[in-house]
Structure 1
Amino acid sequence: MVGTEFFGNFDLASAAIWLFWIFFAGLVYYLQTENMREGYPLVTDDGKESPNQGPFPVPKDKTFHLRDGRGDLVVPSGQRGDRADLALAQTSTAAGSPYVPTGDPMLDGVGPGSWAPRNDHPELDAHGHAKIKPLSMLDDFAVSSGTDPRGKAVVAADGEVVGRVTDMWVDVPEQYVRYLTVDLNPEGTGKTCLIPANFARIKSDRVSVKSLYGANFANVPGTKSDSEITLLEEEKIMAYYGGGTLYADPKRAEPQI
């Protein structure tokens, strides 16, 4: 009989099930530790390391070699010191008490205006080209349907006309408009800013932005280049408009009935 002399009384079925349980336990350990590459070590509300980190240790750093000569990235990001001293103050010493901004919440990266420290490089397509570019620099792109916002006035939430749309930034591979360029002073200075498309409502006679008031547009984060936008710049611009939904007017932070 096969295995009688070699295995003796060894139970192959028992060995198979035990090997499965060992493999399964190792898989759970591996997946859980890999899941801890962001957000760990855990911290308390005041930024100190939490006394309870869970049963699994933080994984060792892993190095990724980035494409297009952009160097290396070491993760987990939770060990890089991403958390900075935020401009927030706790309203009470009681655990769980809310925090309130102590500076300019729309620029300090807190609350709905929070942003992540992404790479300060443009997002690239599969061919290594910047994905998002101004429509004015794309000779083979044109507005084929919908309302063209170029030339329309931009109206803030308080009714102030802050400028006019002069260009659109297109996600080339997706063929989708991501940002609108606004000339904030058509009279002369040429100061511009970007409006994320999802914060703009394009109407027949104007472009409406409800998250900001007229005075807020002067501080919209800008871009280093007129032809590209980096991931970090996108984060800060989106966070500024997001923060405006709560912080543009103190009344917005009050209870709503």
Structure 2
Amino acid sequence: MTQTFFAQVDLASVALWLFWIFFALLIFYIQRENMREGYPLEDDHGNPAGNQGMFPLPDDKTFRLPYGRGVVTVPSGQNPERANLALSRDPAGGGFPFTPTGDPMADGVGPASWAARRDMPELDGKGHPKIVPMAGNTQFTVSAGRDPRGLPVQAGDGTIVGTISDMWIDEPEQLVRYLEIKLDAAHGTGTRLVPLPMAKIKADRVKIKAIFGKHFNGVPRHASPHQVTLLEEDKIAGYYAGGLLYASEARLEPQLG
């Protein structure tokens, strides 16, 4: 033999083309995997969108959840979307925000919206609830900063609505996620949680600007005194976030900073 097979082959060109083919297939695979949640696309009225995109939906894949939490099949087995929301569409054209028709904070729409997550707590790597109250947990103490327990809670309108009774901690992350408020009788019964970023701890009080005194009784409750579920967390966070816009009509107008 006087010639070899590779004598007439540009190996660099072959390697480059193999790379481009592999890269195109990788993009196709990643894009399809990215479509396991939120697809097929829908318009504002819940009807199938006219433009579904150039990539087809991926085949169903079933995930077996740990710690006896069952199975989840996506994309066909997604949680149903919330329906019959208290919203109206004023302009005829698309691209405009919807207008709340009731109490947006109670209805959970707009900035106060929440997703229909699973009504069970988030677990750590050992199958235990991640977020738990600090009361009765001797592993954690306040080592720095102000301990807010016992301080009065001041609403955005200056009303004192209760006192901080406990802190809820994320054990694996070792940080405070929520403050627990024991409401005064004039503003409701029982306790409510407030996300720590929504509270400002001062020397003599805890200020919650997002909502007013009349709103605290409407804060979504957590069913168990020992844990909070993913669904409850979403509703609680949405309620306070919605208050930043809906707590007062004055907040609905543009603000000059």
TM-score of the alignment, normalized to the shorter chain, above 0.5 = yes
| 1:130-168 Cα shifts (integer Å, max 9, x gaps) | 111111120222111111111111010111111111111
| 1:7-36 Cα shifts (integer Å, max 9, x gaps) | 598747355444333322211110111112
Corresponding residue number in structure 2 for 1:103: 102
Counting aligned pairs with the same residue, the percent is 54
- C-alpha change, 1:77 and 1:115, in structure 2 (3 Å) is farther
Once residues 8 and 172 of structure 1 are traced to their aligned partners in structure 2, the CA distance between those partners, rounded to angstroms, is: 61
Count of residue correspondences:
254
Task: Return the offset for 1:45.
Answer: 2.3
| 1:186-243 Cα shifts (integer Å, max 9, x gaps) | 69x8511111111011111111000000010001111111001111111110111001
Corresponding residue number in structure 1 for 2:32: 33
Once residues 35 and 157 of structure 1 are traced to their aligned partners in structure 2, the CA distance between those partners, rounded to angstroms, is: 41
Corresponding residue number in structure 1 for 2:181: 182
The worse-fitting range, judged by mean Cα deviation, of 32-41 and 154-163 is 32-41
Q: 1:155-234 residue pairs with structure 2 within 5 A?
A: 155-185=154-184, 191-234=190-233
Compute the TM-score of the two structures, normalised by the length of structure 1: 0.90
Instruction: Please list every run of 5 or more consecutive structure 2 residues that lacks an aligned counterpart in the other structure.
Output: none
Instruction: Please list every run of 5 or more consecutive structure 1 residues that lacks an aligned counterpart in the other structure.
Output: none
Once residues 59 and 252 of structure 2 are traced to their aligned partners in structure 1, the CA distance between those partners, rounded to angstroms, is: 42
Q: 1:242-253 residue pairs with structure 2 within 5 A?
A: 242-253=241-252
Once residues 156 and 173 of structure 2 are traced to their aligned partners in structure 1, the CA distance between those partners, rounded to angstroms, is: 30
Corresponding residue number in structure 2 for 1:236: 235
Amino acid at match of 2:139: D
Task: Return the offset for 1:129.
Answer: 1.2
The worse-fitting range, judged by mean Cα deviation, of 122-131 and 218-227 is 122-131
Q: CA contact under 8 A between 2:60 and 2:75: conserved in structure 1?
A: yes
Q: CA contact under 8 A between 1:179 and 1:194: conserved in structure 2?
A: yes
Is 2:129 the partner of 1:130?
A: yes
Q: CA contact under 8 A between 1:164 and 1:184: conserved in structure 2?
A: yes
Compute the TM-score of the two structures, normalised by the length of structure 2: 0.90
SS of structure 2 residue aligned to 1:63: strand
